[in-house]
Structure formats: structure tokens, C-alpha cells
Chain A
Amino acid sequence: MKHNFIETSVYNLLQSRAKKIFTIFFMLLALASSVMLVTSEAVKVKLLPNQYADNFTMYIDLPQGKSVYETKEVTSCIVETLKNEDIITNMSIFLGESAPVDFSGMLKGRLFANGENIANILVNLKKEHEREESSVDAVHRLRPVIQKNCSMHNSNIKFVQAPAGPPYLAAIVLEITSDEKLSSMEKLGFKLETIFKSIDGLVDIDVLTDSNTPRHVVKLNREKILKSDLKLDQVKNILYLSFEGMDIAYTNSEDVQNQIPIHLVLDKKTKLFNLDSKEELLNKFSEIKLMNSLGMLVPLSELITIETKAKGHQLSSKNLSPLINVVAETDMISQIYALLDIREAIQERLSDEYEVQKTGMLDFTLIDKRTKESFTLHWDGEQKVSMDTITDLSMALGVAIVLIFFMMVLYYKNFSLATAIVLASFISVVGVIYAHLIFDIFTTATFYMTGTSLIGFIALIGINSRNSLLIIDFAKQLIEEKYIDADRAIAISVATRAKPILLTVLAIIFASALLATDPVFGGLGVALIGGTLAAYAVSLFIVPIIIQIPLIKQYPIKKEAHEEK
């Protein structure tokens, strides 16, 4: 039989101890360096990258108590800022109520949001193939401009893009729970906000607590009201009617779908307050008069007193523990590193005032050194799910490896062969990581190693074990049926199977090449390309070495028998 090039080189490799050691050493080096690439953050990890879409939404929140006119100023400013963007086809601006709710909106609590101090803008972009800039890049470019120009009246503008996977409250959510005073929790919340703001790439930062606005309390003087021959509810109703107005009657009409209400209210000019003060309120109330059953008119101001207090503060709780959330989105960075940066900053900057204790994997307990107040910091949001999913995927990987190992043991009834196959499969991780590095170098944005890369890697374990299987099976067949010695059999087997393996590798690479361009599944595509290429090299050079000893051990007698023949 003619020996081809692959067969000869594999045979030589198996015969030379030095070459084998060199190959194994080279493999270990590659493996170590690829792990280094990840730990040194040369290849960055992120659970799910951003998804491209044809739209995005802006959530605009002003502090409680701001009027619709102030909110309108913000939205008008945004529209004005965007008026020359030719990638936008249309924008719907919703003041005081939610835009048509999408899945993100639902999980971000936008379903019930209403009030004069909120607005939503739904921005539709040109279809993807009609523009050059991706939606992710567009938001990245527009966000700072809009937030710089239009954040008047302490407004908070958030940019919401369709996530690649399931949506969450925010990319990073830090829950502060504590039984201490709300003001102390808020103080800590704002300190954390400052820390968040100092981290590059964290955007749309917000402390989810409402601000204090003054509120006047009208106290009814019951004695005076009864003495004036008036009723308490009469006074309350008139007060509401004057300023808020009431639908006092309805008329129906055939050509209208709904009833037409008749709405009674004081006209704009008369109900206008000149100032937000107690005195002005009393002054206005003196003009409003109530008529008693005797037909006497009594000014409202005579019947009441006014106190000014802070408005009741919204109280949030999670499972009965008072809660304040600090939220942030990530812009072009991975939540994982942002989280680590925040943790570091918390330990560094808050340790003057608080005693920082680590609890659980990532959480903290902070104790105010002066007041001994204690606060629990717990991470939630997309970033927590990222961590959980990566853990789950790693577990899946482990299970896959164990399952394959047992299957091979079952098939070959040989532990060392099974170990060899699993080892060979695992080495393709080198290809996965280096492929990400190469892609990262050639793409402008950071090319992350994502959850889908991990899925690709899990699939690769299966693919690679097939390569090894084909080689081992044929080698065994050669030994058993043709009585060729193990080294030669391995060499022939590798040489014979090299072509179909190369073909399947190429098939996977070409099929994955289209995946690689997808923002979400790019990781998977790249993992498959790099991984199968590495697997090919592994099949040619590493597999022969690691199956050599088990095979020789398994067929020592047959080899002799062959020689006797």
C-alpha cells in the first residue's frame, strides 16, 4: 500500500518520543495561553450581546410632581435634537401614559406607569438593510447627545433596546434592603449612584425612589362647617370640583360611540394659582363660596385651615423588606466587568463610612460606622441572570462530558480510550478562544465571548468526539481484521479519515460563517469555526498520541500473532 503524506507523518510522530512530547507540550501551551486570554480580559465575556432592531424606546421620567408642560419640554427637546436624523422614519411621543407595551416594557414595569411626569417615545428606524448604522450604534451615538441636551427638570431619560434574549428590569440592578430609616437608605442609594456614574460604559443610571415635593394639607374645621349649616362632603366635593372638575352628567348621541360627558370646572384663569404657597391657596379659597340651606354664601377659606407638609414618600419593599433599587444599563460593555468594577469601587470608596462585609457570592452587607445602621446589597437584573446562566451552561458542559465519557466506556469497554476521546474533545476550547480573539481584532466593536459561544463549545464536544470515534473505530478494525500493528493502523486510519473529517469541518465552517455575522449568534458561529478547525488539528496530531497507548495495551497479543504469521 502506498503511504501518503499524512500517514507517514503520523507514523513518524508515533514512533518518536521527542516529537510526541513536543506536540503535547505545544498543546498544553496553547491551552494555557487561551485560558490566560480569558482571565486577562483580552477576550471578553458577556452573556448576550446586543440585538439589532428597527426601533428603540425612550422612557422619560421626571421627578414626582412635575407637570405635563415640563415633561413636554423634555420631549420637545428630544424631538428637536433628532429632527435631522435621516435614519428615523417616525417617532410617537406619548405624554403621561405608556407607549404600546412590549415585552421589555412589561418587565421594566412600564405597564402601569402613568402620570404627568412620565413620557415615552417610540422611535422607528429605517429597515435594517436601508441604513448603514445599526440600531445599537445609533443609540450609542444618540444617547449622550440627548441626555446632555434634554435632561432639564431633573429628568431621567432611559434608552430601551430590544434585548437579544429575555428582558429584565435593567442590565444591572443593585437592591438595597434595610430596616433602617428611608433617608439613610436614600443617602446610601445616592452614594452608590455616584459610584455607578464613575464607571465607564454604565449609562441610564437611576435611583428608583421618588423625590420629596411639598404638599398642602387642607384641614376642615368641622365646628365651623356645621355651624354654617353645611355638610362636610359638600365642602370636599366643591373643592375637588373647582380645581379638578367633575363629569356631572352625560348625554348620549346616536352618531358617537361613547357617551358625551358634561364636565364642570372653574375656568383656567380663575383657578390659576400665582404661587405655590399657603397664603395664595387661602386667598383663592376665599373666592369660592358655598351656599347653605338658608341661601347664605360662605367663603371656603372660612371653613378650613392649611398646613404645608412634605408629600408622602413612595415606599417600596421586596418580600416585606424596604427596598431601594439602583439601576443602570451597560453601553458597549459587558455587565460582568462593570459589576466587578462596581464591587471594587464599593469596597474602596465606601469603607470610610461603612463597614463592608461580603456575603454570598457577590453581595454585601454595609454597616454605617457611625450609626450602626445595616444595609444589604443584593445584585439582580440581567447581570445576575448572566451569572446564573453561565453557571448552568458550565454545568451542562460538565454533564455533556460525563455522558460522553460513559457512552464511550460503554462502547469501547475501555476507560483510557474514553478518557482520550473526552480529552481530545476538550482541547478544541483553544480554537474557540483564539477565534474570538481574531474576530475581536478584525471587528470594530468588541467581539464578546457570549453564552452562545458556550453553547457552541458544548456542541463541539460532541462533534470532536465523533472525529476521534471515526479514527479509533477504523484503527481497531484494521488491527482486528487486517492484523496491522497499532501504530501503523492509527496512521492509516488518520490518513483515511482525514478527508471526511476535513469535509465535515469545512461544512461546519461554511454553515457557521453565516452565523458569525449575526449579532446574537455570532459567538456560536465563531466558536464552531475556531473549534472545528482546532478539532481537525487535534484529530491529526493529538488523537493519535493519546489513543496510542490504550490501543497498544488492548492489542498486544494480536500484534504478536500478526508477527507470527
Chain B
Amino acid sequence: MNTKNYKKNIAGQLAQTFIEHPLTLMLSIFILVMGYVTLQISPREANPQIVVAGGAVIVAYPGVKASEIQKVIVEPLARRLREVQGVEDIYGYAQDNVAILNVKFFLGQERDEANFRLYNSVLRNVDVLPKGIMQPIVKTMDIDTDIAIASIAFYPKNSSLSMTELHNKVSKIQTKINRIENVAITDLIGERKEQYNIEVNLQKLTGYHLSLGQLLKSIEGLTAKIPDIKGRTAEEKIVIFGVDKAIQNINDINKLIVAIYGGSAIYMEDIATVTKSDDIQNMKSATLVFAENGLANEIPQTTISITKKQGANVVEVNKDIFALMDSLKEELESENIGFVITRDDGYTANHSVNELVTHIVISVIIIGILLIVTLGYKEAFIVTLTVPMIISLTLFAGYMLGQSINKISLFALLLSLGLLVDSAIIVIENIHRHFHDHDAGNKTVKEIAVAATNEVGNPTNLATIAIIMTFLTMFLVGGTVGQYIRPIAVFAPIAMFASLIVAYIFTPYLVNKLMTKEE
């Protein structure tokens, strides 16, 4: 092989430039640090985000039958909403008293804009709706603030703590959780609210010759509120006085005079059972079973569900939430409140990310062993060393492109791993082979390394571009699946490109530093 005068391709030139450049080492360390930092600060997710735009328009029309609702609300509104740009399908549901229209946008519609168009169209078309409807409600589907990233179930540890007391305590915790950065919405499920219940006995009511309407009026009058009243003294000083709240405890209701019957007062307690308990009209409830308590023991509970803001790192947010819960543990313990974490997307995301990172490390080690066996330990060392650099470059590029670290992006890395080392293997194998050439004696390690890199440069370039192109075609896949596998289309080509650069710059450099011809 003529090594003195030959035209070098890109590979050869890169090898030539960096093989003894003092900055090469610095550059490699910088890349590694950058990759590590990216791995730490990138948002982690279990699955890549899929943007779905859509929403529900809910129109209540009390007292109207489904078939009428279909005609006067669903059909006219659906007709009008078809005008909204980007709408794919409109599903209408007419029930007694209420109409629900589910509007689905085509994939890839920008969510905020789609939501705005939907709101706009509903507001503009209120005039097609009949009189007497309630204000239409537009509930847009929001992948961030609708989907719980964590949920915690609180339960009373013994019967001395009532569900309403639990609710009061839990709502305080709810406020605390809401203070955490990047927490979007917290919601209570299965909560029982405190309430005075006046359960009227119809027989007694009739007995006293009373009607429900009278009861209603007597209580309404009592609870009517007026603001504090300012009076003046002769010296123009202010005197403040206010009317006391009439109902402060259960007795105030029990002793309420409802009517005078036959000269004697009739109290509320005479005709009704008054209790301060929970919202009896609420048919929703939540219960919990958990292994430590025996799976057959169903106990009442209240769940807090928590969502995060868009772009926030679920792992970080959940860490903060559970750290808060840890700090509250003792306090809750003393108040007889127990809790169970029933959902932790942060764990799922972190766990899958860490598991895949481990897989990547194992794969690198296996490939390293393979290379030790086949090429020798120095070559193996060099190839193995290129992998973290490629991954670092890729992660950093992904971060710059706004990609989170998720299962699919790591799979893309794992998938490319076999390919990543290829360029390095081919370069180093060629260098290795040329060391054993019969004319190797006349050349320096540097010359051989550059020439050998140059020799396989063109086919390796072309092949890598071919692989990059095959991965890029994955951008053609549409639909939600297309969005789902998008990280592969983004990360694999970047990784391949990075592998080329690393193979041409660092492999010859390391060869020059570490290897001698005798080996």
C-alpha cells in the first residue's frame, strides 16, 4: 500500500488531524463529562410522550330526554364543530339531561392551538343551542395535567378517626403537595366531606302539621349572613358590631324552632335526626386492601392523585412528593393515619431507564470480552472506550433536540450499540491487519493508523450513511405508533453519526498512543 502520496478521504483526514493533536484527549474527556451530565439532568420518562389533542364538550340540559338532546344539541353542535380545522372525528353521546361531544383532532396538531380553536368554536356557536341549557363546558384532554404521575391512598388506622376527619387532614397534605415545584393538579378521590345532615321523619312532620318548605325557610333565615356593621358614637368613634353565626354546632340545629304548634315550640330535633357526619348523598367511595393488612380486609380510604406540569421530570417531582410524605410520616402516625403509595410513575420511569442503562453497560462489557478474545486487549480496550463517548455525544445531541430519556430512546441506543462499535471494530481491525503487512516495518504506527483508517473510510462512511438512512425512514411511520417510535428515528442516526466521528478521530489517536507494531 502506498502510504506516502495518496489522496485522503474524510476519514483519513480526520485521523490525520487528530492523531497527535493535544486537544483530542481534552475533547474526549469533555464529551464524557457532558454525556454524564446529560444523563443526570435529562427528563426521564417510561414511555415517550405522545401528543394527542382533543377534548369533550359537555352541555347539560336538565329535564330533557336523550332523543331530544340528540336533535337540539348533539346534531347542531357537531355540525358546527366540524368546521374546526384539524378535527378528525366527533363522537356524540346524547343521554338524558346531558350531551357530550368528544372531539378528536388529527395527530400532530399543536395542542394549545387545537384547544383554543375548540373553545373558540364552541363559544361562537352557542347561539345554535337551545335556550335553557347550562353553560357548555369544554374539557380538553391534557396528557400532562390529566394523567396522574403519583397517587397516595390514606386510610384511618383505627375506627376512632372518621372519614371526614381524614378528609380534613388529607386536604392539608394536599395543599402541601401542591406547593411542590412542578406539581400541576392534585385531586381527592373517595373523600367524604363533613356535613350536617337533617334527616326528616315524614310521619312526625305530618303529625305536627308541617311541610318541608317551612323547614327550609326556617334554616335559610337563620344562616343568612350580613357583614359587620359600623356604628358611630357621639364623638365620631367607630363602634363595630356583627351578628353572630347562628349555627356553630349540632345543638344549634337541634334547638332550632321550626314552628309554634298549639302554643308550644317545635324544635328541629322533634321531627328530624340531625347528625354532623359525612355527605350522605355522595354515592362515590373508595376502599383499600393491602398485603400487610391482609388482602381480605377492605378499609375505607381517600386517594390523592397528583399530576405534573408539562416538561417536568417525573422522577424529580415524585422524589419530592415522597420525600414530603416521609417527613410527614411520624405526624400522620400519631394521628392514626396510614398511607400506601398506589402509583409511582417516577419509579417506573427511573427503573426502566436504569435497567436499560445497565443493559447497555453489560452489552459493552460483553463486546469488550469478545474483542479481547479476537483482537487483543489493547484493541478491545480502545473499542470499548469509544462506546461511552458515542453514547455521551448521542445523549447530548438528543437533549439539545428536546428529547427526554425514555425507554424507546435507550432502546435505540441499545439497538445501535452493536452497530456503534462496528465502525471502530472495522477501523481497528484494519489497523491491526496492516501491522502484520510485510511492508509494515518501514512505517510508523501513525502512518499505518492513518492509512488503514483511510482505506476503510469510504465503505464505512457509505455503509453508515446507509444505516442512518434506513433509520430515518422511520419518520415515515405515522399515527401514535409513529410518535412512539420517533426516538428511534432520532437517536439511532445520531448515534451512528457519532460512532463514525469517534471511530475516525479517537480510534487512530488511541491506537497511536497505546499500540506498538510488535503486538
How far does the Cβ of B292 sit from chain A's closest Cβ, in whole Å?
Answer: 9
Among A47-95, those with CB < 8 Å from B are 47-48, 53-55, 68, 75-76, 79-80, 82-86, 88-95
Which of A250, A264, A388, A399 lies at the interface centre, i.e. has the most chain B CB atoms within 10 A of its CB? A264
> In whole angstroms, what is the CA distance A261 to B420 when docked?
67
Residue pair B196, A315 in contact (C-beta under 8 Å): no
Interface segment among A4-12, A237-245, A345-353, A432-440: the answer is: A237-245
Residue pair A260, B209 in contact (C-beta under 8 Å): no
Among B268-283, those with CB < 8 Å from A are 272-273, 276, 279-281, 283
Q: In this assembly, does A278 line the interface, its C-beta being within 8 Å of a C-beta of chain B? A: no
Residue pair B200, A265 in contact (C-beta under 8 Å): yes
Among B437-470, those with CB < 8 Å from A are 455-456, 458-460, 462-470
Residue pair A266, B199 in contact (C-beta under 8 Å): yes
Chain A residues closer than 8 Å to B492, beta-carbon distance: 459
Chain B residues closer than 8 Å to A263, beta-carbon distance: 195-198, 279-281
Q: In this assembly, does B243 line the interface, its C-beta being within 8 Å of a C-beta of chain A? A: no
Which of A48, A252, A499 lies at the interface centre, i.e. has the most chain B CB atoms within 10 A of its CB? A499
Chain A residues closer than 8 Å to B414, beta-carbon distance: 511, 514-515, 521
Chain B residues closer than 8 Å to A314, beta-carbon distance: 66, 93-95
Residue pair A473, B459 in contact (C-beta under 8 Å): yes
How far does the Cβ of B29 sit from chain A's closest Cβ, in whole Å?
Answer: 25
> In whole angstroms, what is the CA distance A317 to B92 when docked?
5
Beyond A258-B171, A288-B202, A507-B421, whether A397 also contacts B473 by CB under 8 A is yes
Residue pair B200, A266 in contact (C-beta under 8 Å): yes
- Which single residue of chain A is at the shortest CB-CB distance from B371? A503
Beyond A79-B296, A122-B342, A265-B197, whether A95 also contacts B286 by CB under 8 A is yes
Question: Can you sample 14 A-B contacts with CB below 8 Å?
Answer: A93-B287, A93-B288, A100-B187, A100-B342, A101-B146, A101-B305, A244-B281, A289-B211, A317-B93, A389-B481, A400-B470, A404-B469, A407-B465, A507-B417
Chain B residues closer than 8 Å to A504, beta-carbon distance: 418-419, 421-422, 425-426
Chain B residues closer than 8 Å to A274, beta-carbon distance: none
Chain B residues closer than 8 Å to A248, beta-carbon distance: 216, 219-220
Chain A residues closer than 8 Å to B79, beta-carbon distance: 320
Beyond A90-B291, A251-B247, A288-B212, whether A165 also contacts B425 by CB under 8 A is no
Tally of B interface residues using CB under 8 Å: 146
Residue pair A470, B456 in contact (C-beta under 8 Å): yes
Chain B residues closer than 8 Å to A389, beta-carbon distance: 477, 479, 481-482
How far does the Cβ of B465 sit from chain A's closest Cβ, in whole Å?
Answer: 7
Chain B residues closer than 8 Å to A257, beta-carbon distance: 168, 171-172, 175
Interface segment among B33-41, B326-334, B360-368: the answer is: B360-368
Q: In this assembly, does A97 line the interface, its C-beta being within 8 Å of a C-beta of chain B? A: yes
Residue pair A455, B485 in contact (C-beta under 8 Å): yes
Among A210-247, those with CB < 8 Å from B are 234, 238, 241-242, 244-245, 247
Chain A residues closer than 8 Å to B469, beta-carbon distance: 400, 403-404, 407, 462
A267 touches which one: B220, B247, B272, B419 (CB < 8 A)?
A: B272
- Which single residue of chain B is at the shortest CB-CB distance from A496? B433
What 1/0 flags go to B185-219 for Cβ under 8 Å of A?
Answer: 00101100111111111110110011111111001
Beyond A114-B284, A262-B223, A496-B433, whether A267 also contacts B290 by CB under 8 A is no
How far does the Cβ of A97 sit from chain B's closest Cβ, in whole Å?
Answer: 4
Beyond A316-B92, A455-B474, whether A100 also contacts B305 by CB under 8 A is yes
How far does the Cβ of B317 sit from chain A's closest Cβ, in whole Å?
Answer: 15
Beyond A455-B474, A504-B422, whether A89 also contacts B290 by CB under 8 A is yes
Q: In this assembly, does B182 line the interface, its C-beta being within 8 Å of a C-beta of chain A? A: no
Interface segment among A102-110, A441-449, A552-560: the answer is: A102-110
> In whole angstroms, what is the CA distance A146 to B223 when docked?
51
Residue pair A512, B418 in contact (C-beta under 8 Å): yes
Chain A residues closer than 8 Å to B92, beta-carbon distance: 315-318, 320
Among A273-316, those with CB < 8 Å from B are 287-291, 297, 311-316
- With A94-B286, A257-B171 given, name 19 new contacts (CB 8 A): A93-B287, A94-B284, A96-B283, A101-B148, A106-B147, A166-B481, A241-B216, A248-B216, A258-B171, A262-B198, A263-B279, A313-B66, A319-B89, A385-B479, A388-B479, A459-B470, A500-B425, A507-B418, A510-B363
Residue pair B374, A503 in contact (C-beta under 8 Å): yes
User: Chain A interface (Cβ within 8 Å of chain B)?
Assistant: 47-48, 53-55, 68, 75-76, 79-80, 82-86, 88-103, 106-107, 109, 111-112, 114, 116, 122, 124, 165-166, 234, 238, 241-242, 244-245, 247-253, 255-258, 260-271, 287-291, 297, 311-320, 323, 385, 388-389, 392-393, 395-397, 399-400, 403-404, 407-408, 411, 451, 455-456, 458-459, 461-463, 465-466, 469-470, 472-474, 477, 481, 496, 499-500, 503-504, 506-515, 518, 521, 524, 528, 532
Which of A262, A270, A315, A511 lies at the interface centre, i.e. has the most chain B CB atoms within 10 A of its CB? A511
Residue pair A388, B478 in contact (C-beta under 8 Å): yes
How far does the Cβ of B257 sit from chain A's closest Cβ, in whole Å?
Answer: 16
Chain B residues closer than 8 Å to A253, beta-carbon distance: 248
Residue pair B52, A315 in contact (C-beta under 8 Å): no
Q: In this assembly, does B429 line the interface, its C-beta being within 8 Å of a C-beta of chain A? A: yes
Chain B residues closer than 8 Å to A317, beta-carbon distance: 70, 74-75, 78, 91-94
Residue pair B141, A79 in contact (C-beta under 8 Å): no
How far does the Cβ of B486 sit from chain A's closest Cβ, in whole Å?
Answer: 12
Chain B residues closer than 8 Å to A98, beta-carbon distance: 189
Chain B residues closer than 8 Å to A76, beta-carbon distance: 298
> In whole angstroms, what is the CA distance A298 to B303 when docked?
47
Beyond A317-B91, A459-B471, whether A466 also contacts B460 by CB under 8 A is yes
What 1/0 flags go to B239-270 for Cβ under 8 Å of A?
Answer: 00000010110000100000000000000000
B484 touches which one: A96, A165, A316 (CB < 8 A)?
A: A165
List 7 A-B pairs, minimum CB-CB distance, nearest first.
A466-B463, A508-B418, A462-B467, A100-B305, A267-B199, A166-B480, A100-B148
How far does the Cβ of A531 sit from chain B's closest Cβ, in whole Å?
Answer: 11
Which of A90, A102, A245, A509 lies at the interface centre, i.e. has the most chain B CB atoms within 10 A of its CB? A90
> In whole angstroms, what is the CA distance A464 to B380 when docked?
23
Residue pair B67, A399 in contact (C-beta under 8 Å): no
Residue pair B342, A92 in contact (C-beta under 8 Å): yes
Q: In this assembly, does B483 line the interface, its C-beta being within 8 Å of a C-beta of chain A? A: yes
- Which single residue of chain B is at the shortest CB-CB distance from A252? B245
- Which single residue of chain A is at the shortest CB-CB distance from B203? A270
How far does the Cβ of A90 sit from chain B's closest Cβ, in whole Å?
Answer: 4
Which of B200, B279, B340, B456 lies at the interface centre, i.e. has the most chain A CB atoms within 10 A of its CB? B200
Residue pair B248, A251 in contact (C-beta under 8 Å): yes
Q: In this assembly, does B354 line the interface, its C-beta being within 8 Å of a C-beta of chain A? A: no
Chain B residues closer than 8 Å to A234, beta-carbon distance: 213
Q: In this assembly, does B121 line the interface, its C-beta being within 8 Å of a C-beta of chain A? A: no
How far does the Cβ of B348 sit from chain A's closest Cβ, in whole Å?
Answer: 7
Residue pair A166, B483 in contact (C-beta under 8 Å): yes
Residue pair B96, A312 in contact (C-beta under 8 Å): yes
A400 touches which one: B211, B426, B473 (CB < 8 A)?
A: B473
Beyond A96-B283, A166-B50, A503-B429, whether A458 also contacts B479 by CB under 8 A is no
Beyond A99-B189, A465-B466, whether A54 also contacts B473 by CB under 8 A is no
Among B214-246, those with CB < 8 Å from A are 214-216, 219-220, 222-223, 245
How far does the Cβ of A82 sit from chain B's closest Cβ, in whole Å?
Answer: 6
Chain B residues closer than 8 Å to A513, beta-carbon distance: 366
Among B78-98, those with CB < 8 Å from A are 78-79, 82, 89-96
Q: In this assembly, does B386 line the interface, its C-beta being within 8 Å of a C-beta of chain A? A: no
Beyond A258-B171, A392-B478, whether A91 also contacts B418 by CB under 8 A is no
Beyond A91-B288, A385-B481, whether A315 also contacts B93 by CB under 8 A is yes
- Which single residue of chain B is at the shortest CB-CB distance from A515? B414
Residue pair B201, A270 in contact (C-beta under 8 Å): yes
Chain B residues closer than 8 Å to A84, beta-carbon distance: 295
Among B470-513, those with CB < 8 Å from A are 470-471, 473-474, 476-485, 488, 492
Q: In this assembly, does B285 line the interface, its C-beta being within 8 Å of a C-beta of chain A? A: yes
How far does the Cβ of B148 sit from chain A's closest Cβ, in whole Å?
Answer: 4
Residue pair B194, A249 in contact (C-beta under 8 Å): no
